[in-house]
Amino acid sequence: MARIDFGGVIEDVVTSEEFPLEKAREILANETVAVLGYGVQGPAQSLNMRDNGIKVIVGQRKEEKIFWDKAINDGFKPGETLFSLEDAAEQGTIIQMLISDAGQMAAWPKLKGHLKEGDALYFSHGFSIVYKDQTKVIPPDNVDVILVAPKGSGTTVRSNFLEGKGINASYAIFRDFTGRAKERTLAVGIAIGSGYLFPTTFEKEVYSDLTGERGVLMGCLAGVMEAQYAILRKHGHSPSEAFNETVEELTQSLIRLVAENGMDWMYANCSTTAQRGALDWRHRFRDAVTPLFEELYKSVVSGEETRIVLEANMAPDYRERLQKELGEIRLSEMWRAGATVRSLRPERRKEV
C-alpha cells in the first residue's frame, strides 16, 4: 500500500504496481465471479475480468432481451457462461450485484438463498447496504460483503481498459467473514481495470456518489449550462454561439486541460481577460451554490434521495416517464443545437 500526499493529506492507496495483475489472478484462481446484471457496469467489469483471465459468468434476466442479447453478442454463452440471476448466484463464489439499485431490492428475496457460506457479496455502490431499512438487502452473517466503486461510467471503465489505462476506484469492506475479504476486494479491483484504489466505507461511498451525481457531475452541470444558455439567448445570441460558449468550449477544450494539468494551469494558459474574470467570479458562484450543496448532502444522508429513487423506479410507468423527461432535454433548443454543433466537428464530417 502506497502512502500518497493528496494536497497535504496523506492517504493509503493501492496501485497495480504493488498489487500486480498476476497477484490478482493467483488470489482469484479458484473463484467464480458471477456478475449479476448486464446493464451499466456489468458489461465493462465482466469483459475486463474475462480479458484478464478471471473465470467470469453472467447472470441476467432473459426477459430483459436487450441486455441478454448484448451478453450473447459479447461472447457469453447461455447455459455455459450466461445464466439467470439465480443460477449465476448459485454457481458464483464472488457475486457481483451490478443490477440497478431498485433492481437489487426487487431481486434480493430470490437471490439471498443462493449465497453460500464463504461467498463474497460484491457491490459497486453502497446504496443497498447503507439504506437497508428501505431496500431490505441484509446479507447473511457468513459471507464477505465488499465494494469496489469505479469512478466512472461502465463505458469509461471499458474504454480506459482497452486503451491500456486504469480508472480510479474506491474500495470498502463491510464484513470480513472469511479473513480474505480485503485480498478478494483488491484482486477484483485490479482485475476490473482499476488504476489505483483508495479506501472508503460503504457509507462514505454512497454519500459522496449520490451528492456528486446530483451535483457537479450531472445535475448541477446540466442546470448551470441551461441557465447560461438561456441568458445568452435572451440577450440575442444565436443558438450556435450560445451553445459553443456554454458547452462546446468546455467539453472540447477547457475540461481536457483541467484533466491533464489542473485548474490553475488551465487558468494560467487562458487569455488574461478570461483568467481575471474567472478568478473573480468563481467566489461568487461558490458562495451562491454552497447552501444548495449543503441541502443536497443532508437529503442524501437522511435517506430522502434514496426514497425518491426507489419510489420512482418501482412505479409501473417509470420508464415511460423517464423517456418523456429525457426527451424534453433532447428536444430542447439547446441540445438540438448541440447535435448540430457535434455534426459539424471536423472528425464527424470526415466520417460522413
Residue with cell 426507489: 310
Q: What is the largest CA-CA distance in the chain?
A: 67
CA 286: distance to chain centroid?
Answer: 25
Distance CA 168, CA 4 (A): 14
C-alpha cell at 271: 487569455
Q: Which of 125, 235, 237, 283 is catalytic?
A: 125
Classified as helix, coil or strand, 102 is helix
Query: What does the buried/exposed string (b/e) look like for 94-130 if buried means 16 or more CB atoms within 10 Å of the residue's CB?
Result: bbbbbbbbbbbbebbeebbebbeeebbbbbbbbbbbb
The amino acid present at 262, given as its one-letter code, is G
Q: Residues 6 or more apart from 43 whose CB is under 8 A from it?
A: 70, 71, 74, 154, 158
Q: Contact 126/175 with Cβ under 8 angstroms?
A: no
Q: Is residue 125 annotated as a catalytic residue, yes or no? A: yes
Residue 197 is classified by DSSP as E
Select from 173, 186, 103, 106 the least CA-distant residue to 143: 173
Q: Catalytic residue numbers?
A: 125
